[in-house]
Structure 1
Amino acid sequence: MMNRIKEVLEAKGIKQIWLSEQLNKSYNIVNGYVQNRSQPSLEVLFEIAKILNVEPKDLLQTINEK
């Protein structure tokens, strides 16, 4: 599973640095989430959704199998 945090941030015109400040996490951690190098825990995912005012499911995308 991959996340859509980058797409949601871009759609809302929000910078990663602002999100990292809201989460009280380093820019590098948030950048890892945004670039899909690492995935946030469910707790953090729900916190990100609340901060961005979206549903948690809107931050996820499934990888379709062929």
Structure 2
Amino acid sequence: MADLNRIKVILAEKKVSNKSLAEHLDKREETISRWCQNKQQPSIEDLNKIAEFLIIDIRSLLNPSDWSK
């Protein structure tokens, strides 16, 4: 089972639409959708802007590493 996409989860928790995030970042909604579907990954700069917009720690947008496997 694939890990849940953290951007998608946090957007849902905060009740923020892809459209709102796209407008804030000056990106297309399709780009946000690709990020939420793990078809593409945002840059570190975009992750920082997302964290600022959502008022969260940037680390919340990342799945923790599990090196025990």
Same fold by TM-score, threshold 0.5 exceeded? yes
TM-score range, shorter chain: 0.7 to 0.9
- CA gap of 1:10–1:4, structure 2 versus 1, over 3 A, is same
Report the identity percentage. 35
With the length of structure 1 as denominator, give the TM-score of the two structures: 0.88
**Corresponding residue for residue 4 of structure 1:** 6
Aligned residue identity for 2:60: D
Partner of 2:46: 44
Question: How do residues 1-66 of structure 1 correspond to structure 2 at under 5 angstroms?
Answer: 3-62=5-64, 64=66, 66=69
Kindly indicate whether the alpha-carbon contact (under 8 Å) linking 1:3 and 1:39 is maintained by their aligned counterparts in 2.
no
How many residues are treated as equivalent by the alignment? 65
- Residues of 2 paired with 1:48 and 1:39: CA distance? 12
One-letter amino acid of the structure 1 residue matched with residue 54 of structure 2: L
RMSD of aligned residue pairs (Cα, Å)? 1.6
- 4+ aligned runs moved over 4 Å, structure 1: none
Kindly state the Cα deviation for residue 64 of structure 1 after the two structures are TM-superposed.
Answer: 3.0
Greater strand fraction, Structure 1 or Structure 2: 1
Question: Which structure has the larger Rg?
Answer: 2
Unaligned runs of 5+ in 2: none
Work out which structure has the larger RCO, using CA pairs closer than 8 Å and 6 or more positions apart in sequence: 1
